[in-house]
Amino acid sequence: MRTVYLNGEYIPDTEAKVSIFDRGFLFADAIYEVTLVLDGKLIDFPNHMQRLKRSARELQFPFVPDVDQLLEVHRELIRRNGLVDGQIYIQITRGNALDRDFAFPPADTPGTILMFTQVRTAALDQAMKSGKAVVTMADLRWQRSDIKTVQLLYSSIAKMEAGRKRADDAWLVRDGLITEGTNNNAFIVTKDGRLVTRPLSTDILHGITRKAVLDCAKEMGLEFVERTFSVEEARQAKEAFSTSATTIVAAVTSIDGVVIGDGKPGPVGAKLREIYLRKGLDAAIG
């Protein structure tokens, strides 16, 4: 049984209850973050919290998350659950409006804060290292994909559709150009060895791992460019991979059934994964 956090209390997961009037439940009026935990330490925590604050601002939440307090809760959950490798999920909603109303509740309505841990399995790491098959699919999400909200139904549907096509994930497409994966950012390595990923805009989540991986590329002296790329260019890439806090750097070995490179995880992704893990652990918060 897990100990989870809900509005100031540490309680067993089966006892954590939220009101039916909570706006997170009725309107997906909630923001979230997922922070990687390795060796009991938080990876890239300050950047996740910075993005959480940005999401709160963008949705005009009347309160700002207190990062120092949230760090203490993250630490306490790791401790109470004996978490070694895994992740911590945090969700903050606009709170319980005591009824259903499209208008926001009064500004003094407290938000709902919940957090829980998830354990990482060795099988996940292995799958990510050995490569994923992705299929491309229309990006039908709302046009503020830069805000990390719990409005994830389309991503979930796309993931299921990918599964029906015997693939592991979907890469989403707007105007013939890849935006990102269902829950990760998309990268390719072109034939001439350049790393390419879509530039930041409202079309994609500003991935924390994406940024860290670009920093690693800089350190490696690897040429990279932030620009859009088409489905066709991705299918012809020398190498492809995705990034996220949960999958870290995950090789993509086929796109729409077209084998990428030699069909095996490529060296650029593998090297970036290695450097990211080393740097991430060096800077991790215990």
CB of 36 to ligand PDD, least distance (A): 8
Is residue 236 within the footprint of ligand PDD (CB under 6 A)? no
- What binding mask, one character per residue, do residues 266-285 give for ligand PDD by CB under 6 A, x or -? --------------------
**148 a catalytic residue:** yes
What is the rounded distance in angstroms from the CA atom of residue 87 to the CA atom of residue 4? Answer: 13
Is residue 91 within the footprint of ligand PDD (CB under 6 A)? no
- Give me 203's structure tokens: 């079309």
Side-chain half-sphere of 233: how many Cα atoms within 13 Å? 20
Phi, psi of 204 (to 5 degrees): -135, 160
- Give me 76's structure tokens: 């306490």
Q: Identify which range of 118-126, 159-167, 183-191, 258-266 contacts ligand PDD by CB under 6 A.
A: 183-191
Residues 188-207 binding ligand PDD (CB under 6 A) are 205, 207
Task: Give how many residues touch ligand PDD by CB under 6 A.
Answer: 14
Q: Identify which range of 78-86, 92-100, 179-187, 273-281 contacts ligand PDD by CB under 6 A.
A: 179-187
CB-nearer residue toward ligand PDD: 92 or 97: 92
What is the rounded distance in angstroms from the CA atom of residue 5 to the CA atom of residue 3? Answer: 7
- Give me 138's structure tokens: 């229309």
Phi, psi of 238 (to 5 degrees): -75, -30
CB-nearer residue toward ligand PDD: 55 or 243: 243
CB of 245 to ligand PDD, least distance (A): 3
Q: Which of 132, 198, 210, 273 binds ligand PDD (CB under 6 A)?
A: 210
CB-nearer residue toward ligand PDD: 29 or 169: 169
Task: Return the sign of the alpha-carbon dihedral for residues 155, 158, 164, 169.
Answer: negative
Residue type, 46: P
Q: Which of 185, 197, 253, 254 binds ligand PDD (CB under 6 A)?
A: 185
Query: DSSP per residue over 242-266, as a string?
Result: EEETTTEEEEEEEETTEEPTTSS--
Side-chain half-sphere of 107: how many Cα atoms within 13 Å? 5
Is residue 209 within the footprint of ligand PDD (CB under 6 A)? yes
CB-nearer residue toward ligand PDD: 88 or 205: 205
Q: Which of 96, 183, 197, 254 binds ligand PDD (CB under 6 A)?
A: 183
Spatial contact of 222 and 275, defined as CB atoms under 8 Å apart: no
Residue among 148, 191, 211, 264 flagged as catalytic: 148
Q: Which of 149, 243, 253, 254 binds ligand PDD (CB under 6 A)?
A: 243
- Give me 166's structure tokens: 């015997």
24-44 burial by CB neighbour count: b if 16+ within 10 A, else e? bbbbebbbbbbbbbbeebbbb
CB of 185 to ligand PDD, least distance (A): 5
Name the residues that contact ligand PDD, by CB under 6 A.
34, 180, 183-185, 205, 207-210, 243-246
Please list the active-site residues: 148
